[in-house]
Structure 1
Amino acid sequence: MVGSSVEGLTFDENCQVLSVTAPAGASGLPVMVWFHGGAYVTGSGESTKYDASLLALEGVVVVSVSYRLGIFGYLRDNLGLLDQLVALRWVRDNIAAFGGDPSNVTAFGQSAGADSVYALMLVSDEPLFHRAILQSAPLGARGPERAEMTAALREFVSVDASTSVDDVLAVQKDALSMASARFSPSGGMPFGPVLGEIDLAPAASRIELLVGHTADDASPYVPDQPEAWEIATELVFAGPARQLAADWTTAGGQAATFDFRWRPANAPLGACHCMELPFLFDPAGWSHAGMLAGQEPDPVLAKTVRSLWTGFARNGMAALPSRSLELGE
């Protein structure tokens, strides 16, 4: 669908790193902190697919975060989430030296990265970021069976400090198969932050929210059942995004939604999961993505998307032409 997001990268448990992309001469610019997707088992903020140079040229400083994944990050203690919190604290304390404004920070992410931002808004009352963009967060996978699945994973996985990395990854593969077979739809993303009781009000009072999805977000998960694309997208991505925006407003916050509808001609999976990413980041990194069917992202729409995202980071709701955005049609 998108091609490898980790090709050419070094694999290491010491993966808690970040990169900063800023325009020349940056000073006091809005900051956008990117959390990559990959179902909490793959991906890296260092991927060339997330080259943020075009975003930075819109007048922002972009920070890309990598964090522990899978068993290493999320079987117990939410270590991957703690990595992300440490990165945000680093931004607060150091980003001014790179030309960013620590009082104007937007956290944004896609898929598991968007789910991460959702968790980050709820688990800490530190004012580490002031706006949030959730792209294709699989909030519908946070179903009532998630607690049962987490307990089953912890019972299924038997590793300790002496277990080799290769053996941990082998156990993780088996755990993914077990979760996928026993739990749906949560089994599609079995690892991830475990959240307790949720109260949106504290976060809604301090964070402006933009949340949305692609028109055929779920198509890669039921690729041979096009008649099910709309239903699955509604259950896992679209419906929960609209509900979160409504709940955010009810809790006293400000929220807007988006629906990304652009699809290349003859696209095998329509406007699928990840389709908006080549419109935010340098499209050169996406040239071999099967979802694009050999076509280039529409440059006019790409400019519009980058302008909307960075405008929201700069000025929040005031920068959006509508509280309900349809992009690409």
Structure 2
Amino acid sequence: MLINTRGIRYATAARFEEPSPVTWDGVLDAYQRGPACPQPPSTLAAVVGSSVDGLTFDEHCQVLSVTAPADASGLPVMVWFHGGAYVTGSGESTKYDASLLALEGVVVVSVSYRLGIFGYLRDNLGLQDQLVALRWVRDNIAAFGGDPANVTAFGQSAGADSVYALMLATDEPLFHRAILQSAPFGARTGDRAEMTAALNELIDVDASTPVDEVLAVQKDAMSMAAARFMPSGGMPFAPVLGEIDLAAAASRIELLIGHTADDGSPYVADQPDAWAIATELVFAGPARQFAENWIKAGGQAATYNFKWRPDGAPLGACHCMELPFLFDPDGWTGAGMLAGQEPDPALAKSMRRTWTDFARNGMDALPSRSLEFGE
């Protein structure tokens, strides 16, 4: 039996202001999913479907959900950061129903945070939201049966990039292991600080600008960034990091990092000959290099490659293909990338067990430092 606690507010903030932690007394109504940050339609909707169906929208979206076995006590904790290029998605999405992961004997926390202009125009506000959420986990997760001394941060796409930024942005021991799924490190090349400065010069919004106008301005700004700052312009709203101390992070965090075999295919869908190139440049090559750098810096790292693809898959083992194997596959019914098929249940079980075993015991739990899933 599982306990699902939804829409817990961990922080509050006025527009363009730093988040303040939220506490409460008494009984909290935590049966309803919380709001998603206002956002445009996902450019990957045809591939994965909508991740915000049924959710309300509110820029005050600093909420999280907890899924735990009913008898949980001292279990490993896994904190999920959703993807969506820092402009779409929500941790409250039914696509990230963590019931099957929790049944492997872990407590799962799914975090929502500010996106786009609301979160990353200035001051890394979305990243600050995530840090406050991790502090909430540290201070409160024992009440849900989790062990605050055994926390794994994991995320996919921009969520993986978030985990990367969180590892390097603070020396607080907020998590102890990290899983980076399809981190778009290839979009971190170039001068992100220069691009962010250009966006600030271009974007003229304030605390009173209506949300619809903010999103319209954001759309224009993203077009400008894509034209002037590629490849980083492909993900213009993201954390801007200062000087990086890789050794300090590597000394305290065990790392599992990887990608899907055709991660880049949705972005060059009409050019099949370019799928492998896009995958290598944006996802696979940078992931291998980061793992090597992590080990050279004194840390421990393992890599994985997710190769499963359904028969007739229009984009192969594309970006997001591993997600129905970790979360409840019912949330992914109708996703174009699956070509009408179901995830292989045995492979899904193996993948969930690998993720949760790593969260429980780190590198010692992995059968290899170079993992493959599917054929």
Please give the secondary structure, in 2, of the residue aligned with 1:109: strand
> Partner amino acid for 1:187?
G
Partner of 1:132: 178
Measure how far apart 1:179 and its partner are. Answer: 1.2
Q: Aligned letter for 2:263?
A: D
Cα deviation digits, residues 24-47 of structure 1 (max 9, x gap): 110000000000000000100000
Report the counterpart of residue 43 of structure 1 in structure 2. 89
Partner in structure 2 of residue 100 of structure 1: 146
- What secondary structure sits across from 1:22 in the alignment? strand
Question: How far apart are residue 145 of structure 1 and its match?
Answer: 3.3
User: 2:190, 2:231 within 8 Å by CA — same for their partners in 1?
Assistant: no
Q: How many residues align?
A: 329
* 1:12 equivalent in structure 2: 58
Q: CA deviation at 1:207?
A: 0.1
Q: CA deviation at 1:270?
A: 0.4
Q: Aligned partner of 2:158: which letter?
A: A
Q: Root-mean-square deviation (CA), in Å?
A: 0.7
Q: Give the match for residue 215 of structure 1.
A: 261
Q: Tell me the distance in 1 between the aligned counterparts of 2:192 and 2:299.
A: 27
Please name the residue that 1:325 is paired with.
371
Instruction: Provide Cα deviations, 1:7-27, integer angstroms capped at 9, x if missing partner.
Output: 110100110000000011100
The one-letter code of the counterpart of 2:244 is I
* Larger RCO (CA under 8 A, 6+ residues apart): 1
Residues 82 and 112 in structure 2, CA contact (< 8 A), matched pair in contact too: yes
Matches within 5 A, 1:103-118: 103-118=149-164
Partner of 1:24: 70
In the other structure, the counterpart of 2:19 is: none
Rounded Cα–Cα distance in structure 1 between residues aligned with 2:53 and 2:284: 30
2:190–2:229 Cα contact (<8 Å) kept: no
Residue of 76, 95, 112 corresponding to 2:122:
76
Structure 2 residues not aligned, in runs of 5+:
1-46
State the alpha-carbon separation in 2 of the partners of residues 321 and 112 from structure 1: 27
Contact persistence 2:260–2:319 (CA under 8 A): yes
Aligned letter for 2:369? R
Q: Within the alignment, does 1:174 sit opposite 2:224 as a pair? A: no
Structure 2 distance, partners of 1:304, 1:318, is 16
Instruction: Name the aligned partner's letter for residue 116 of structure 2.
Output: G
Correspondence 1:229 to 2:265:
no
The Cα of 1:166 is off from its aligned counterpart by 1.2
Measured after TM superposition, the shift of residue 148 of structure 1 is: 2.5
TM-score normalised per structure 2:
0.87
Aligned to 1:283: 329
With the length of structure 1 as denominator, give the TM-score of the two structures. 0.99
Where does residue 10 of structure 2 map in the other structure?
none
Equivalent in the alignment of 1:255: 301
Q: CA deviation at 1:199?
A: 1.9
Aligned counterpart for 2:234 among listed residues 173, 181, 188: 188
What SS does the aligned partner of 2:89 have? coil
Q: Distance in 2 between matches of 1:189 and 1:303?
A: 32
Of 362, 369, 375, 1:316 maps to: 362
Distance 2:279 2:371 in 1: 17
Deviations 1:297-327 (A, max 9, x none): 0000000000000000000001100000011
Percent identity between the aligned chains? 85
State the 1:183 CA deviation.
Answer: 2.1
Separation of aligned partners in 1, 2:115 and 2:358: 29
**Alignment map for 1:291-302 (pairs within 5 Å):** 291-302=337-348
Secondary structure of the residue aligned to 2:48 is coil
CA distance in 1, matches of 2:281, 2:237: 20
Q: Work out whether 1:164 is the aligned partner of 2:210.
A: yes
How far off its partner does 1:102 sit?
0.3
